[in-house]
A and B are shown apart, each in its own frame.
Chain A
Amino acid sequence: MPTSSTDNLILNRRSRWSRFRANRLAVAGLIVFVSILLIVIVTLPWTVHWYNVQSLDHAVRATPTAHPAVPYQAFNNALQDSRLISWPGLSRFIWQATSWMGHDDLGRSLFHRILPATLLSLIIGGCAAFVAVVLGSTWGATAALLGGRVDAVMMRMVDVLYSLPYILTVILMKVALTRPLSSLFDGHAIPANLLILVLAIGSVSWLTLARVVRGQVLSLRKQPFVEAARANGASTLYLLRHHILPNVAGPIVVYATLVVPQAILQESFLSFLGIGVQQPIPSLGRLAADGVEAVNAFVGFWWLIAFPCSALVVTLIALNFMGDGIRDALDPKSSQAPMI
């Protein structure tokens, strides 16, 4: 049972970490995730300028080879627009990589699109999860703490929202919000579009968390140490800060790690519908959807589907393994099962 003692928390933290480390899959997930994150962030100064360098003359849908078809000059020109001091060795190396994964229908290097796409997908996933966590935990905790009628009404609202088909909600939100939000951004469509995407995905993912948090808070309220604190005259805010939040943090973290991959997947679905991230900005879902559309019986554009999908699957699996590991580490009960 969770306690509020500081010593115990540290001990818990240590044992959680060691439990997490013992889970080989989780550690592998963590390592893969961190390396993906490192690669996409380190290469960002280049890819942010190169992801949309088109070469309509040379390399439209060129197959992956070891030799870049597009001259370095074309890429270097794109870099010079920026104030960034390019590091010739590294940029040459990254340029070399342009052809490894082939090119898309505008002759853009798939490699240079996948890297920022992965980052963008992670950002969308993370932001959507953040929206979901903030909404869900506030809603659930408020309902549980206020109790009574308010609780009943709030949870009924969650029930009602559950019975709306989420895809329709997302699309309607997107359609209805696009105009008001773009005027908020001075008519700039791209940030408005990203924000809507995050809000739409986040706002359909918070329902489960609201239920979980409410349940946790309700059971915490009955714990002896909370009742003791309340008997000593602690305010609701104090209770929330010192006793409740630290103890529901676990389930929230677990849930958040599971929402991130879900949100990434949902973005890919929206991209498949053509209402995801706005071109030319790439996201993994967008690239995978483009690849799928190019599947045909005549020419095998295998790289257009294989590389984006691998990137997507690897990222999601790493996230899921991590999430599972965290859950096991925070919830030791499940590891006590006997081996049969």
Chain B
Amino acid sequence: MIRPLARRLVWALTTLIVVYVITFVMVVMVPGNPFQQSDRSMPIEVEHALRARYSMDNNWLYFWEFLGGAVRLDFGPSFTYNDWTCTQIVSQALPISAMIGVLAILFAVLVGVPLGVISAARRNSWLDVSIVSGVLIGISLPTFVSGVVLLTVFAVAWPILPIGGWGTIKHLPLPVITLSLPFIAYICRLTRSAMLDVLGSDYIRTALAKGVSPHQVIWTHALKVAFLPVLSYLGPATAQAVTGSFVVEKVFGVPGMGQHFVNAALNADAGLIMSTVLVFSVLLIFLNLAIDVLYAWLDPRIGLTI
């Protein structure tokens, strides 16, 4: 277990560095003067001097300086939001997105898995058809539509929740539910198809033949196996949910991370682009690693592979 884990860690680090290089190249390719605040033009000497001040006149220098800073968790200044460093921006936004994301994922598991199990167990019944259709609507409806619908229903038409913002526990339900809808749908789908596979296998037939109650077969024996694909999906899903969703943040006015992925790219804010990408990649790589360790522990036959 230790050796493969060490190998995985080395590999994670390599991946991170490659991700950094790719992002850096993309950022350098994006046109525009990052110091320009509005439409008004800037004297050429000043732009030149400012670029030099932030090592942005030389790509190599910038590459190493940013990397050096990133190792010390200092991502440098943001050029769109002058008064904030990228580290401050990320450290204020990430906990908020993480809170919503973790809740959304837990909620999605809690709802999606049972729906998938029921749907598989009652295959082709009206229940199955309605669950499958509901799930497909969940997948097909863009979040910006479902979010606005939830907002109009629960905050405007029937005002039990606040419109938007952040700070109290009442601000949580709408963003969490909106964010979890596509995850519920996907998890339900995964569980259903995994469950169908498992239920078709011999040992379930044996268990049923032996007289174990169908209820117990489904909810313990079968689910134990069928949960594994869901588990491996949870790694990337959690990384995605935790780093925020632009749509949910825009619709509900949540000051999370998701907006920065979009705004940084649109504003060509080099430092912010790279810091958000690095945070996302670190989360994704290590969550995946954690899930794989968990996997290996739950199912020792698989073991930890690179």
Q: Do chains A and B touch in the complex (CB under 8 A)?
A: yes
A168, B137: Cβ atoms under 8 Å? Answer: no
Interface set, chain A 21-37, CB cutoff 8 A to B: 25
> Min CB distance, A124 to chain B, in Å?
14
Q: Which of A167, A173, A179, A289 contacts B261 (CB 8 A)?
A: A167
B36 within 8 A of A: no
> Min CB distance, A199 to chain B, in Å?
14
What is the total of A-B residue contacts with beta carbons within 8 Å?
143
**Hey, which chain B residues are within 8 Å of A167, CB to CB?**
246, 261-262
Q: Which of A164, A171, A292, A321 contacts B148 (CB 8 A)?
A: A292
B140, A265: Cβ atoms under 8 Å? Answer: yes
A172, B30: Cβ atoms under 8 Å? Answer: yes
**Hey, which chain A residues are within 8 Å of B15, CB to CB?**
156, 159-160, 163
B268, A334: Cβ atoms under 8 Å? Answer: no
B281 within 8 A of A: yes
- Sort chain B's interface into a size bin: 35 or more
B214 within 8 A of A: yes
Interface set, chain B 116-153, CB cutoff 8 A to A: 120-124, 129, 132-133, 136-137, 139-145, 148, 152
Interface set, chain A 294-333, CB cutoff 8 A to B: 295, 297, 305, 309, 312-313, 316-317, 320-321, 324, 333
A160, B197: Cβ atoms under 8 Å? Answer: no
**Hey, which chain A residues are within 8 Å of B132, CB to CB?**
25, 324
> Chain A: which residue is nearest B19 at the CB level?
A163
**Hey, which chain A residues are within 8 Å of B218, CB to CB?**
340
B273, A164: Cβ atoms under 8 Å? Answer: no
- Given the interface pairs A168-B261, A317-B137, A337-B196, the reply to whether A179 lies near B31 with Cβ below 8 Å is yes
Interface set, chain B 275-299, CB cutoff 8 A to A: 276-277, 280-281, 284-285
How many residues from A make CB contacts under 8 Å with B? 47
> Min CB distance, B137 to chain A, in Å?
6
Given contacts A269-B247, A333-B200, 11 further A-B contacts (CB under 8 A): A159-B15, A168-B261, A268-B144, A312-B141, A313-B141, A317-B133, A335-B196, A336-B200, A337-B123, A337-B196, A337-B197
A and B contact pairs by CB, cutoff 8 A, 24 listed: A25-B129, A160-B15, A160-B18, A163-B280, A163-B284, A164-B23, A165-B276, A165-B280, A168-B273, A169-B26, A175-B265, A176-B30, A268-B144, A269-B142, A269-B143, A269-B144, A269-B247, A292-B144, A297-B156, A309-B145, A312-B140, A316-B136, A333-B200, A337-B120
Q: Which residues of B contact A (CB under 8 A)?
A: 11, 15-16, 18-19, 22-23, 26-27, 29-31, 120-124, 129, 132-133, 136-137, 139-145, 148, 152, 156, 193, 195-197, 199-200, 204-205, 208, 214, 217-218, 236, 243, 246-247, 261-262, 264-266, 268, 273, 276-277, 280-281, 284-285
